Structure formats: structure tokens, C-alpha cells
Structure 1
Amino acid sequence: MSLILTFLGKSGAARSKIAIATAKLLATQGKRVLLAGHAEPTLPMLLGTAIAPDPQEIAPNLQAVQFQSSVLLERNWDEAKKLEAQYLRTPIFKEVYGQELVVLPGMDSALALNAIREYDASGQYDAIIYDGTGDSLTLRMLAIPDSLGWYVRRFRQLFVNSDLGKTISESPLIQPLITSFFNVNWTENNFAQPTNQVNNFLEKGKAALADPHRLAAFLVTTPDPLEVANARYLWGSSQQIGLTVGGVILLGAEQDPNLSEEFNPLTISVVPDVTKGEWQPMIDALPNFVQQASQAPKPMEIDVHNRQVRLFLPGFDKKQVKLTQYGPEVTVEAGDHRRNIFLPPALSGKPVAGAKFQNNYLIISF
């Protein structure tokens, strides 16, 4: 398994510089590093070399790749056709080309996340540095396992509890009729297997998101008030999806005491900008990413003994938060993101008794 690092902030060029410097730093430490970005000109220009849709070595221990959605989808399209052929007698995917689906909303993010998952699972890399959009789109991408898991759980349970679901599962007559009329290869094992595979992928994704030793983000900003405000918003939104923010990287300026208050308790690392192609000063000033991520506030803590859930939500107040409860889950909406908290058995079924803000924490009591 790899350490996955990404960077959040308003300035795309600044984030890319930090991503490159981080990749170079880890590579010189002997780690096998993959620097991954999207099909944009920033990374190739900063690196001074072209980047292909397949990983290519650009320095010792360092490979780079640019995600091209059409290429990624085409590579996965044959697998989708195989699955379809397994469950439908008359497949329809063969009439659709993979490139045609790239225009679907959110497809780019899903493909990029799946590519990162595959590179992580390959065992070829000790660290993956993801130079994404660095904004809410990156956070939505990383939140896909949790968001999709919520829909799988909710709609699967709704179907099981419905009259139609009960009829299909219990009647020895309905299943053969469905097989005949809808041309579906209906067996319990057929439908359980892909569902279990999806759930397995989603659970692994959620586990990685919750582990700062596996996945962490760092904020990149300058003293500019707009960039600081943007970084603070992304900080709070990251906590909302369960992503650990390990620290702040202040680019090209001396540390301002006011910034320490803005990002307390995160550590702020001041790094110089790259000038005349000299990367070493920036590399030397980078923080210990693993150490800072492990010491950062956890996005969520569940205290079963005191019947409390503590969410670290810097940048939000009680008026900006909405709580809803459905069975064993509590949904927290803050800003532009929602988080679905699946309660442990000791708290499952207990109604929310109250909620309060204290020192940037939303404390939910049961």
C-alpha cells in the first residue's frame, strides 16, 4: 500500500510546484514515487518534459503520469462488457464506445480515483503524489467511496423491504418470469457477487480515507487574504468528508502570526518559491508529511462510553450545519459537502439528544 498525498489551495501553479518538490524529496529518500496529474500543461512545463498517459520514469525512483479520461475509460470498457455479458443474455454495451461516456458528469473524477486505486494496489509505489484540481472537485472525488456506499446501503435496503423485493426473493415463480421477460440471468449468486465486489472496493476506499498514514492532504497558500480564506474553507470541507489535513504550506513569504491563529492547531511550513529552475531550496523546506499528518486533529472521533461523536469542523458554525438521522446513520451537512456517519452498534438506533460547537468541534450527543 502507498502513502497518497494531495494538495489543496487556490493557486494551481503553487500546488503543482509543491507536488513536484514533494515527489522529488521522497524519491531522493529511496521511496518509489508516482507523480500523477491530469492532462494539463502545468506539470510538463514545470518538469521540462512531456508526460504520457502511462507511468514513465523521469528521475531515479520517480515516475510521472497524466490521467486522460478517454484512455482510462477505454481500458476499463472491456471489463465492463465482460460483466454485462455475465448477467445479461443480450448485452448492449457492445453498441457503445467507451469514449462516448467521458462526457458524463463526474466521470473524470471517478476514472482518476480508480486509476489511483489501481496504482496503489499494484504494489509498485511507496508514495503517490496526486496533483489534482486542489478544490472541492478533488474533495468530491475522494469522497466517492463514502457517498456511493451510502446510496448502495440505502437503496439496497429500500428494495429489500419493498413488496417487490420481498416477492422476487420469496417467490419460486417470479424469478423464472424475470429471466424470461427481461432477459436477465437471474440467480442469487449472480447478483450477490458484483454487489459484494463493489462493497469491498468502497470499504477499502473509506478505510484509506480515514487513515492519515495512507491518505492525507496539505493546504497550500500565500498570505493573500483570498487564498487564506479559500484554504480555510477547503480545510473545513476536508474534515467534513473525513480527509485528514496534515498542515499548511506557506509559499514564498515569512510566516504571519495572524495566519497561525487562522490555522491553529495545524503547523505552518514556510517554503521559498522556485526560482530559475532551482528546486532544492523548496525541497529542503518541506515538512515531514507523515509526522504532521499523524499529529493533526482527527476529522471524527466516536466516544461510545460518553455516547458522543466529535467532528472537527474548522470554518463552520452551528448555523451552517444540518443534522438528519436515518436508522443507524447520522448525516451532517456543512458547506457544500455532506457526511454520512454509520454509527457503531452501541449507538445505533439511539436518537440524537443534542449538538454543540466547542473549539471547532461539533459534538453530537446520543
Structure 2
Amino acid sequence: MRTLLVTGPGGSGRTTVAAATALAAARSGHRTLVIGADRTDTLRAVLGGTDAHPGLTVRHLAPADRFRDDLLALQERAASALDLLGAERLDGEELTPLPGSVELALLRALRDAAGEGAHDTVVVDLPPAPEALALLALPEQLRRYLRRLLPPERQAARALRPMLGRLAGVPMPAAWMYETAARGEAELAAAQAVVEAPTTTVRLVAEPGPAGADAVAATATGLALQGLRTDLLIANRVLPDASTDTWLAALCAQQHKTLDEWDATYEQVGRVRHLGHDPRGADDLTALRVPAPTAASDPIEWPVTRAPADEDGHAYVWHIPLPGAVREQLGLIRRGDELVVTAGAHRRIVTLPSALRRCTVAGAGLREGELRVRFAPDPDLWPQGR
């Protein structure tokens, strides 16, 4: 299954491009599903209904319903603990979705679409870029939190909990807590597998201009830090060249300056012309000529190489691609077997490769859009004779 995640700065036309991409995929013969979670169902409005093409399925998520069902189910499983605390139960009618419910609904939709196997291509209309990056990093982060708070190896003691509960005279909630964590871990792992799959890429949408250029640079850095691949950078609402209007000509010149910079910086840049009105319906979306999803690109790798012998004795270098990163906004912290990498507003905690766990960090530098972290063997941990 080919999965295409569409995002970009707010107001850049993400939903329009997602709808046009899905329509192009359906017309090329792919069984296509397009997913949106906007409260006003903008995606369906842009498509002009659900019958834009017989091979296209539109799925609008309703996070409030799933949030209500999940919270009521959790309340039921925790009934003994809540009764012990004297808590008053919540009714379904009084529950409203909390921040984060849309993100969780989108992750579940990705997992479910992969499990269904009913579609060749899935296009997802994600929130604006900052929220989208946080959403795509969520499965990995939540799994790490679960492993730290409820280590799986401690579940072996669950057999003793009923006896301890009888001795203490109070119900022990740990059993359902671990069961809930295990279910959550499985769901998060399935969502993470889709996000990190070789057939999943991100299509970045922005209007060419100074603000769009800054947003694209920051987003590209965040995507690379998460190991996500970019399918295409789409310059949206490109104005026509021929114009006698001085004001419009100045905007065109500004757009062309940014487009030239993008062509020199990014591998794949597409252009979508401005129609002079907000696109609505299949005819308008076709007129945009948004390309269908291409074959998945090569995965982003973080290779470990052996440093030259004359490089101050440093034995290994870990290469972390960070296009667009600014040296002054980089941070690096070693925590046990993990490395905390910060690039501007983005942060990721990654587990060190096995060989580097027996090394100490000897330095780091940013060169040609790549963070190079140098490691030296720790004499207390490195096998003798190597």
C-alpha cells in the first residue's frame, strides 16, 4: 500500500493538494482512499462530494465519537480503582474531545487502512506542518514513555497481584493497567510501522515566498530528523508570468526568486498554478495538474562510518542528515544508550547503534546539511584487542 501524507504551512492549500493528488491517483487506476479530519469536512467540499471518481473513497474522521467510546471503556476497566477513590462516574453525554484526539484518530485511521488491504493508495490530509510533525513523532514517543513507565519485564509479577490484593484487602489495579498498556503498545507499534514504512512519504505544500521558504526549511529539517521521506515539494498558487500589473509583477518576481532557490535545494519541486479562484470540484482539481504519487523514494539512512586514522583518534562517525538545520539551534545530549538530538523546535530521542553504546561522544559538527557525531571507544567497555 502506498501512503502519502500531505502537509505544509497553514493556509498553503494542503487540503486542495491532497484532494487533487487522491483524484489523480484514482484516475490512474489505483484504488484510492483519502482521509481528512477537519471539523468542517473541507476535503469533501473541495472534491465537490464523494462521487468525484468511482475509484476514490473519501473518509472523514469523527474523533469525538471514538474519544468518547475509549474513555468510557477505560472508565469501566478502572471501575474498582475509581470506586476505591470514591470517584463519580462520567456520562457519555458530558464528554467532549480533548486536545490530541484528532491526532490519535488520524494514527488509528492509518493503522486501519493498512490492515484493511482494500486500497492501493492512501492520501492523508494532515494538519499544518508543526502539528503534523508532532503527530508523526507521537507513536515513537508514546511507546518510549510506556516502556519507561510500565516496563514489560515487570509484567511477570502479575501472577502475584491477586494474592497481594487479598492480603492488602483492597483491589489492585495494576493488572488492567498493564493490559491497557499492552493494547496501547500494539496499536502504537502498528501506526509507527505505517509511518516508517518504505512506501510512506510526505508531500510538502507551500506558497513560494519568504514565509513559505522559511516554513519549508524548518519542516524539511523536522522531517529528516524523524527519518521521513519527502515525495515532492509543491509550490502552490503560482501566478502567471505575463502581467502588466506592477503589483502582480512584483509578486511574480518574489515567487520566482523562491522557486529558483527551491530548485537548487530540493530534488523534486512541482508547480501548481493559481486558477484565479478557490478550486472546487473534480474539474478544477484536474486543471491544477497535481501529479499522482510516484514510487517511494529511498529511505533516509543514518550510517555509521569508520573515521580516518588521522582524525584525532576518533573511531566512528554517526551521520545524521539534517537539511536546513542551523548550527546555533542544534543540541546534542547523551543519556545512557540514547542520544537526544534537537534541531530548532524539533527533538528526537534515538537509541544508539550497538557499537556506539560502548563509545563516548567525542564531538560533533554540522557539515553540508549533515550532523556528524564523533565517537571514541570507551576503554572500560570496548573489547580488548580492537
TM-score for both structures, normalised by structure 2? 0.75
Counterpart amino acid of 1:70? A
Q: In the alignment, which residue of structure 1 is the partner of 2:103?
A: 109
CA 1:175–1:273: 2 relative to 1, 3 Å? farther
Equivalenced residue count is 344
Does residue 342 of the first structure (1) align with residue 351 of the second (2)?
Answer: yes
Counterpart amino acid of 1:228? A
CA distance in 2, matches of 1:179, 1:18: 62
Does residue 248 of the first structure (1) align with residue 249 of the second (2)?
Answer: no
Q: In the alignment, which residue of structure 2 is the partner of 1:42?
A: 42
CA 1:325–1:57: 2 relative to 1, 3 Å? farther
CA distance in 2, matches of 1:65, 1:12: 22
Cα shift readout 1:305-350 (whole Å, capped 9, x = no counterpart): 5633322222222221111122221111122221111123222243
CA distance in 1, matches of 2:178, 2:174: 11
1:11 is displaced (CA, Å) by 4.7
CA distance in 2, matches of 1:174, 1:352: 47
Does residue 63 of the first structure (1) align with residue 38 of the second (2)?
Answer: no
Q: In the alignment, which residue of structure 1 is the partner of 2:303?
A: 302
The more displaced of 57-66 and 273-282 is 273-282
Cα shift readout 1:154-206 (whole Å, capped 9, x = no counterpart): 3345x98xxxx89x95996996148744412666xx66554444333333333
Does residue 289 of the first structure (1) align with residue 298 of the second (2)?
Answer: no
Secondary structure at the aligned position of 2:103 is classed as helix
Q: Computing the radius of gyration over CA atoms, which structure comes out larger, 1 or 2?
A: 2
The more displaced of 119-128 and 94-103 is 94-103
Q: In the alignment, which residue of structure 2 is the partner of 1:53?
A: none
1:108 is displaced (CA, Å) by 2.4
Counterpart amino acid of 1:282? L
For residue 202 of structure 1, the aligned residue among 178, 188, 196 is: 188
CA distance in 2, matches of 1:211, 1:326: 27
Q: In the alignment, which residue of structure 1 is the partner of 2:112?
A: 118
Counterpart amino acid of 2:125? D
Secondary structure at the aligned position of 2:123 is classed as strand
Q: In the alignment, which residue of structure 2 is the partner of 1:183?
A: 171
Secondary structure at the aligned position of 2:204 is classed as strand
Q: In the alignment, which residue of structure 1 is the partner of 2:221?
A: 236
Q: In the alignment, which residue of structure 2 is the partner of 1:322?
A: 331
Q: In the alignment, which residue of structure 1 is the partner of 2:131?
A: 137
Bigger relative contact order, structure 1 or 2, given CA contacts below 8 A and separation 6+? 2
For residue 148 of structure 2, the aligned residue among 142, 150, 154 is: 154
For residue 197 of structure 2, the aligned residue among 176, 188, 211 is: 211
1:224 is displaced (CA, Å) by 2.0
CA distance in 2, matches of 1:8, 1:123: 24
Cα shift readout 1:109-153 (whole Å, capped 9, x = no counterpart): 122222332233222222221112222111111111111122123
Q: In the alignment, which residue of structure 2 is the partner of 1:52?
A: none
Secondary structure at the aligned position of 1:44 is classed as helix
Does residue 363 of the first structure (1) align with residue 364 of the second (2)?
Answer: no
Secondary structure at the aligned position of 1:39 is classed as coil
CA distance in 1, matches of 2:20, 2:158: 60
CA distance in 2, matches of 1:149, 1:206: 9
1:9 is displaced (CA, Å) by 2.0
1:24 is displaced (CA, Å) by 0.5
Q: Is residue 66–residue 105 contact of structure 2 (8 Å, CA) maintained in 1?
A: yes
Q: In the alignment, which residue of structure 1 is the partner of 2:284?
A: 278
TM-score for both structures, normalised by structure 1? 0.79
Cα shift readout 1:38-85 (whole Å, capped 9, x = no counterpart): 222532332223xxxxxx665311111222221222344565456547
CA 1:206–1:327: 2 relative to 1, 3 Å? farther
1:26 is displaced (CA, Å) by 1.0
Secondary structure at the aligned position of 2:320 is classed as strand
CA distance in 2, matches of 1:149, 1:205: 11
Q: Is residue 327–residue 349 contact of structure 1 (8 Å, CA) maintained in 2?
A: no
The more displaced of 274-283 and 343-352 is 274-283
CA distance in 2, matches of 1:226, 1:60: 38
Secondary structure at the aligned position of 1:128 is classed as strand
1:248 is displaced (CA, Å) by 0.8
Q: Is residue 33–residue 127 contact of structure 1 (8 Å, CA) maintained in 2?
A: yes
CA 1:177–1:319: 2 relative to 1, 3 Å? same
Counterpart amino acid of 2:172? V
Structure 2: tracts of 5 or more residues without a match? 242-254, 308-315, 376-386
1:239 is displaced (CA, Å) by 1.8
CA distance in 1, matches of 2:77, 2:95: 17
Secondary structure at the aligned position of 2:145 is classed as helix
Does residue 32 of the first structure (1) align with residue 31 of the second (2)?
Answer: yes
CA 1:74–1:185: 2 relative to 1, 3 Å? closer
Counterpart amino acid of 1:184? M
**Identity of paired residues, percent?**
23
